[in-house]
Structure 1
């Protein structure tokens, strides 16, 4: 007889055996607070044991970018916007640094959104915003080059609204952005674009704060032709003559001398400084203190870059308009530098002698007319 078959119980439901895993849950968007906590957690782990860390699926998809940017705007509308925004942007940069392949595509939207918030004054301009902008400068190399001109255009349009020192913080992005455009093979006619940016900058109205900031940063602008350099310096010195605060003059002159030492219109800078202090400006003891500080700056600059001393001597030799009380003091200051002592005194002696001859000639001519 065949062996008896032992019953094994009722047949199992096939679907129950094959679908023993529950369906995957929908990926939940992280909140801005969770993103900050995640960045802090990753930073601690990487600091203690450098090893690959995985991001949540939500952050791996570009579909998350609108949500991530929306958190930026919601924090900008909070009670304390700048620290809230700074904390969030810093967290995003931390995650981007640790996971560049997954998150670097977020950078263009993040940059343009932040610049828009800053230039529209939806976030206060303070040390928090400056720190955030400095983070963007560090990461500009990772941003898609096609988006850089958009950032530049936003900044240029904002320039007439720069009234306070904090308003000018966003300008720290300009030199690096222009350099990236210049070096790019993807931007059509990059030099022409840069020239158009400089032209727009020259055409807009400058506040005193903007003037000082532009003098500070323009030395880092690449490939500016000599004509635009000259136009820039003309606008600077015209701005200095229009109710510029005396106490701000020494700092501005120092920046101009730094600019000149970078081969940015050496003759124009020296001539502009000399003609500015031509005796027409009255200010009593305050102006004398300002002139004294400026003379110290020029003396130091000539020691660092002797070619500036040659420009001073050449200017006095070639232009009689340059001989005034400030020029005499300047030549005496330059004469204290050993390599210029004889030449500076010689130029001063010749200039004074020529001025004396011109005076006598004019006086004699006046007497002849009287006769």
Structure 2
């Protein structure tokens, strides 16, 4: 029969093909179709695609003898559904063939009558209910049938099919495919809401590796509506359902999916921020904050995200300070300052341990923003002469803004430790704050000092940034310049090149017109002198000793000129060199000679 069908299908006029098919019984046609579908490994001349195409061509929708043509078309669909509903172990060949067959049938489905379409849809639902593996292309057929029935307003049929589908227990590996099918279906508003709620419940049943693609389908469905419900469901899943599981890698992938969805759907981003703003407790969850920081990479959401996090954190610090002053309230109120700190530090740690690279830049920007905001606010309070004292000790303690700026420094320090990619940015920010004399200069100097102490090996590649700061040393206020010299002192020990650059800058300051510049130069020279004397006394028989002694003599020669400057400068030189002569006796003679020359000149 198959050979005859193929020959007749090649004729231009298909009437002979139709007549031939009408002469065959439905059972014979059905048996032939089944045999071809089940022998997809064979290399017959007439393959299943050619056979099915021939039957379709010989079964015109109009005419064809008392509905025989439509019934033959339905038989093809019915047998293909049964075939796709029985998945086998070796599926590579079947999957390829299934794709071709489904592509052939999809345009023909809309030509069937509603009764046939209803029967086919119910067949597929029964297969899904059987809770067994199937070919996923079967769901494409189901989606097509559903949308055709929806177009012709078969409401009653659709409602029955929909109810049966949601009552079915899906096969575990079928969840993502079903979610994709539901996403492609034309649903009423009520049905859409039920689907979203059902899929959110299904999240807990999905295998962990299937969670990201399943959530991606949820995000796609949110374009049709119920964005808040979708976002709430996703956030609650990671914050509650998987709380005791290690889902860090999955969370990272889901955050990327959310980020991509936010780029495509502006309303979804607004809904996420609104959700977090309306319920501050959601900002105390690691995954939620990480999602916000991921969203901050999107330019149109950046300001809104940072404003939300900044205002919440500052508010928590201020409220916490008020509670400390009213201990009877503190007993009944949870301190949110520590909670916010813990969450952001956990996010920082997870950016390294879980590979959440997408939040690194946003977290860096947030930490810098917190430092700048806290210091500018603190400067305003300082101008009002506000002093915060503890009730118990009556001594000064850090206020909320000071604690906040220190926390921002701690976040930047951890990011510097974990991520090489962000170190250049942090050094750029340190340089920028110092050179612009910003209100946060001291905090960034403190950060630089900690980096110098704890991660000295990382500094060498960023020496140019520090040299840029030295170029403006003489223009900085004395307290900032002093702090800067203290911070970079360890570097002058290890890098001769840097020390020489520093000496050159200090030499220029030594002859500046203002007193502060000269005092700064003297303190800087004395600091270098101290470390070089220590170096020389510890290495008495090495080349390093000769180098240190040469530096000591060079600086003593420069300090000799200070003995003719203002009284404050001379006093600093006399007292400091006197102490150094006692601490390092091997240089006492050089120091005595310096003083004696000045003494004999005066006489």
Instruction: Give TM-score scaled by structure 2 length.
Output: 0.47
**1:276 offset after TM fit, Å?**
1.9
Would you identify which runs of 4 or more consecutive aligned residues in structure 1 move more than 4 Å? Answer: 80-84, 101-104, 120-125, 353-366
Shift of 1:77: 5.9
Residue by residue over 1:272-327, the C-alpha shift from the partner in whole angstroms, topping out at 9 and shown as x without a partner, is 1122222753554xx33322222222112111111110110111012344321111
Aligned to 2:259: 299
**Bigger shift: 318-327 or 116-125?**
116-125
| Alignment match, 1:181 | 149
1:116 counterpart (82, 104, 114): 82
Tell me whether 1:138 sits opposite 2:107 in the alignment.
Answer: yes
The aligned counterpart of 1:232 is 195
Q: Which of 316, 341, 345 lines up with 2:302 in the alignment? A: 341
Task: Report SS of the residue matched to 1:278.
Answer: helix
SS of 1:276's equivalent in the other structure is helix
Q: Cα distance, 1:64 vs. partner?
A: 4.3
- Worse-matched range after superposition: 297-306 or 270-279: 270-279
What is the DSSP-based 3-state SS (H/G/I as helix, E as strand, rest coil) of the residue aligned with 1:300? Answer: helix
Q: CA separation in 1, counterparts of 2:164 and 2:322?
A: 49
What TM-score, normalized by structure 1, do the two folds share?
0.73
Matches within 5 A, 1:59-74: 59=20, 61=22, 63-74=24-35
Deviation at 1:351, TM superposition (A): 3.7
Matches within 5 A, 1:93-132: 93-94=53-54, 96-97=56-57, 100=60, 101=62, 102=64, 104-105=69-70, 106-119=72-85, 126-127=94-95, 128-132=97-101
Please say if residues 216 and 255 of structure 1, whose CA atoms lie closer than 8 Å, have aligned partners that are also in contact.
yes
Q: Which moved more, 1:231-240 or 1:322-331?
A: 231-240
Tell me the equivalent position of 1:172.
140
Structure 1 gaps, min length 5: 1-30, 43-50
What displacement does 1:163 show?
Answer: 3.9
Change (3 A) 1:158 1:360: farther
- Corresponding residue of 1:277: 238
Greater relative contact order (Cα 8 A, min sep 6): structure 1 or 2? 1
> For 1:271 and 1:142, how far apart are their aligned partners in 2?
41
The 2-side partners of 1:346 and 1:107 are apart by 61
Write out per-residue CA displacement over residues 206-260 of structure 1, whole angstroms, 9 at most, x where no aligned residue. 233232112111122223333x333322332222223x33322222222221111
Distance in 2, Cα, partners of 1:359 & 1:273: 34
CA distance in 2, matches of 1:233, 1:277: 17
Contact 2:36/2:47 (<8 A) preserved: no
- Specify the SS of the correspondent of 2:239: coil
1:34 and 2:31 equivalent? no
- C-alpha RMSD of matched pairs (Å): 3.5
Q: Does the Cα contact within 8 Å between 2:117 and 2:145 map onto a contact in 1?
A: yes
Structure 1 match to 2:116: 147
Residue in structure 2 matched with residue 192 of structure 1 by the alignment: 156
The residue number in structure 2 matching 1:211 is 175
State how far apart, in whole Å, the 2-side matches of 1:94 and 1:56 are: 8
Tell me which residue corresponds to 1:13. Answer: none
**Bigger-Rg structure (1/2):** 2
